[in-house]
Amino acid sequence: MKISHLTDFVRVMLDMSVGDAEVIAHQIDDFASELPGTASFALGQGVAFVNHLVKVKLRKSLSSLTNKEGEEAFRIISKTGIGKDLINNLKMFILLVYGSNRSAEIISKVANRFEQKDDPEINTVDIKDFPARETCDVLIIGSGAGGAISALELAGKGLDVIIVEEGRRFSVDFFRQNDGLTRFKELYREKGATVAIGRPFVVLPIGMGVGGTTLVNSGTCFRTPNNVLDDWEKRAGVDLYEQDSFSKHLDFVEDLIGVKEASLDVMGNNGKLALKGAKALDFKAAPLRRNAPGCKGSCQCAIGCPNSAKAGVHLNALPAASKLGARVVTSAKVVRILNDGKRAFGVKAVGGGREIEILSKVVILAAGATQSPQVLKKSGIGSHHMVGKNLAIHPALSACGWFDEEVNSSQGILQSVGIDEFHESDGILIEATSTPPGMGSMVLPGIGRELKSNFDNVNRLATLGAMVADLPSGRVVGKLQPLIFYQLAKRDLLKLKKAIEVMGEVLFAAGANQVLTGVNGHEVANDINELREIARNARANDLHLAAFHPTGTLRMGLDDADYPVDEYGRVRGVENLYVTDASVLPTCPEVNPQVTIMATARAIASQIVVH
């Protein structure tokens, strides 16, 4: 990518001097070079094409235009479909880097405020120091929500457990001493740039490290809704979701990870405004229940909690499993589950220039809904036609409100309040979520001076997010590198549009004088009627979607023709192989799923008998 092209783009976008823009351009270039091939290539091409469009439309090169002229040029080329999309998507990269820089200051202030709590010990061994051949009783692929709980359960039965984790161990030091962009790049798979292809495309950040996505989730905990459990039990035929027996596992998980209602003391204004708006409209709303008992409101859940308050599994299940003898091999990517076609008996993993093999009596796959199907396929045992299909992602979008008073949403709980007025009726769950600007799905509107001014006033911006319980409209394909496709269903598009409306209503009711809709081309609504109009006319392609809860790619159920995993969590056709991650959830769980995933993992693991 030509730095000069990118510098010009940034200069115009953020109304900056060439020198400042160049710094940011280099940062973006560094970031892009570490992205998977397709993404960095696309970025480079996109920037070049914008320059090309400017030349075509204005017969002048972008480098010769001033910032003000450049703004106008961008506005002109935004009139074309491709120009609009390009500028919008490239803007996201710039905002990511710029937003990270701006929030770095706030983060560093927080990092020094509270005393560091040392990490509990986990028995980790880097693959470089692990023997090339080893045996154990139970081998678990992935140390996230599902994998960690399975490890705890089976180590508790006295079995020799080894977890193979593709990522590395992140200590609380790492969170406290690094800036947001670095943490973002390291803690997420593919530097956070995983994208589900479709119209619109959906950003799907997936965590990677010891603790999996629980390292970077927002800590929101919901028990599985009864209507979902009912559906899973009756329609999919999975007895372990029977409400009474399953609630015992839910209880265990909530106790283990320390679920409590978010405290108003540390909540921050973002959440309080959400509560205020909901109350004014008489919407059902309450502080969220979270696994963050000692939360200090540092608002960094998505890039690792510096206060060790948000209790990902690296703070509870994994240390407990380690005490019972479980080991975690880190930086080890499983490339094959060893099998003879009928029976799984171990894994082969690579990392650090080495290849290791571990034989075990039972193999548990918990690599996540977007990775687990590929592991099966690479091992030659993913031939069931539903492997990788049935992907539901729980798509989300954001809306923001400008307030007269200071909101300072980057101080307080990142995801603090839940408004579930429309949850039962429409599957819409609204949560007050304040990701640092540029790092979330909200793209601040404007180009140049308008954008810069928005950034300068971001302390008066409150953000809401909405997730929609979707149909399983996606699939994960490919053997070597998983490719995710997701085509938003019509029904779900309508729900998303309604969600924008509802969020706008809440923001206005809370006292916002302007709402940022997040809809491309119609970013600003000055009153509720304008908002409703924008929402009604929004097209799929105009939405900025993100999703954090992929499920269902190895769904479990009774019918062997339609469910690749049986009702006990066993992969059909292969003995001694279980799946205990989000892939087995038959449909979208309609709420933040970490508790559901952990309880499912426990239910499956507790039934595993090893000889």
Q: Which residues are catalytic?
A: 549
Contact of 511 with 497, CB cutoff 8 Å:
no
Q: Mark out the alpha helices in 298-415 (DSSP H runs).
A: 317-323, 372-378
Cβ distance to other proteins smaller for residue 180 or 346: 346
123 contacts other proteins (rule: CB under 8 A): no
Contact of 383 with 238, CB cutoff 8 Å:
no
Cβ distance to other proteins smaller for residue 37 or 131: 131
| Structure-block tokens of residue 604 | 């499956």
Phi (first) and psi of residue 84, to 5 degrees: -60, -50
One-letter amino acid of 413: I
Among 75, 133, 234, 539, the residue binding other proteins under the rule CB under 8 A is 133
Contact of 396 with 468, CB cutoff 8 Å:
yes
Contact of 591 with 571, CB cutoff 8 Å:
no
Q: Is the dihedral of CA 54, 58, 62, 68 positive or negative?
A: negative
Among 89, 123, 135, 541, the residue binding other proteins under the rule CB under 8 A is 135
Distance of CA 35 to the CA centre of its chain: 17
Q: Where are the beta strands (DSSP E) in 142-227?
A: 161-164, 195-197, 202-203
β-bridge pairing 428-433 and 461-468: antiparallel
Among 134, 426, 562, 575, the residue binding other proteins under the rule CB under 8 A is 134
Cβ distance to other proteins smaller for residue 121 or 251: 121
The Cα 98–Cα 104 span in angstroms is 10
Q: Which of 384, 385, 387 is closest to 373 using CA atoms?
A: 387
Residue indicated by tokens 């994994």: 318
81 contacts other proteins (rule: CB under 8 A): no
* Cβ-based neighbours of 66, under 8 Å, separated by 6 or more: none
Among 20, 69, 126, 357, the residue binding other proteins under the rule CB under 8 A is 357
| Min CB(168)–other proteins separation in Å | 20
353 contacts other proteins (rule: CB under 8 A): no
| Min CB(333)–other proteins separation in Å | 16
359 contacts other proteins (rule: CB under 8 A): yes
Phi (first) and psi of residue 124, to 5 degrees: -100, 145
Cβ distance to other proteins smaller for residue 81 or 131: 131
Stretch that binds other proteins, among 132-140, 471-479, 537-545, 550-558 (CB under 8 A): 132-140
* Cβ-based neighbours of 128, under 8 Å, separated by 6 or more: 331, 351, 352, 353, 354
Size of the residue set binding other proteins (CB under 8 A): 14
Contact of 402 with 457, CB cutoff 8 Å:
yes
480 contacts other proteins (rule: CB under 8 A): no
The Cα 140–Cα 317 span in angstroms is 14
Q: Which of 480, 177, 170, 161 is closest to 331 using CA atoms?
A: 170
56 contacts other proteins (rule: CB under 8 A): no
| Residue 321-350 contact track with other proteins, rule CB under 8 A, x = bound | -----------------xxxx---x--x--
Helix 81-113 / helix 18-33 crossing angle, nearest 10 deg: 90
Positions 145 through 184 that interact with other proteins (CB under 8 A): 160
The gap between the terminal CA atoms of the chain, to the nearest Å, is 57
| Min CB(141)–other proteins separation in Å | 18
| Structure-block tokens of residue 508 | 């206005």
The Cα 424–Cα 144 span in angstroms is 29
Contact of 427 with 498, CB cutoff 8 Å:
no
| Min CB(340)–other proteins separation in Å | 5
Phi (first) and psi of residue 231, to 5 degrees: -60, -45
Let me know how long the chain is.
Answer: 611
121 contacts other proteins (rule: CB under 8 A): no
The Cα 390–Cα 476 span in angstroms is 9
Q: Which of 461, 473, 470, 465 is closest to 512 using CA atoms?
A: 461
| Structure-block tokens of residue 64 | 């010769």
19 contacts other proteins (rule: CB under 8 A): no
Positions touching other proteins (CB under 8 A) are 131-135, 160, 338-341, 345, 348, 357, 359
